[in-house]
Amino acid sequence: MTQEARLREQICLLAKSMFDRGLTGGSTGNISARTDDGGLLVSPTGTSFGRLDPARLSRFDAKGTLIGGDPPTKEMPLHTAFYDTRSTAGAVVHLHSCHSVAWSMMPEVDADDFLPPLTPYGLMKLGRVKLLPFFLPGDPAMGEAVRGLAGKRSAVMLAHHGPVVAGKDIEAACNAIEELEETARLAMLTLGQSPRMLTPDQISQVVTKFNVEWGA
């Protein structure tokens, strides 16, 4: 099996795992990964994470030209914005995950630091997450908003919509976006109960020990 064939299978396997566990439903969400030749494999438009076909993934060459597969997700501007601004990005995942969307609606959320510091794992896998405002689905302005961050964040949350995370590879991106949803779930579960957060000193220790990219 070639590297690209393995990557196609891995994309579909991880997408189905997230779908089966309710992290995104229906035909929501999209996923992409870099190929060895600098191109991209992308989930097609209107497809379900639970039923992706490895052979029908959208295939782009290194110049960004669609050269095979079905038409890609309408959220391509989000994906290309991360790839263009973050040299370490090897994959991008976007979900419509319930708890993170719910948390994006809460008035106390800090737009510059979307996730509260409840556990070290959200910090380790995501750094600081930027909450972006509401955009119409498919609006290219979402990609421009990501570009405006100049590569300083590996993850953003689209208000009323869902998270988008870039990782070094497809597995890292999926693990990170799952951690984002779990942290948002904890935030919703403890909402109004004044939970003890990690202290500034504890946050500093995590950032230093695990070399966390703590974007401005």
Q: Rounded to an integer, what distance in angstroms lies between the CA atom of residue 48 and that of residue 24?
A: 9
Q: Which active-site residues does the annotation give?
A: 121
CA-closest candidate to residue 59, choices 7, 16, 20? 7
Distance CA 107, CA 168 (A): 32
What whole-number distance in Å separates Cα of residue 198 and Cα of residue 1?
46
First to last CA, the chain: 42
Amino acid at 73: T
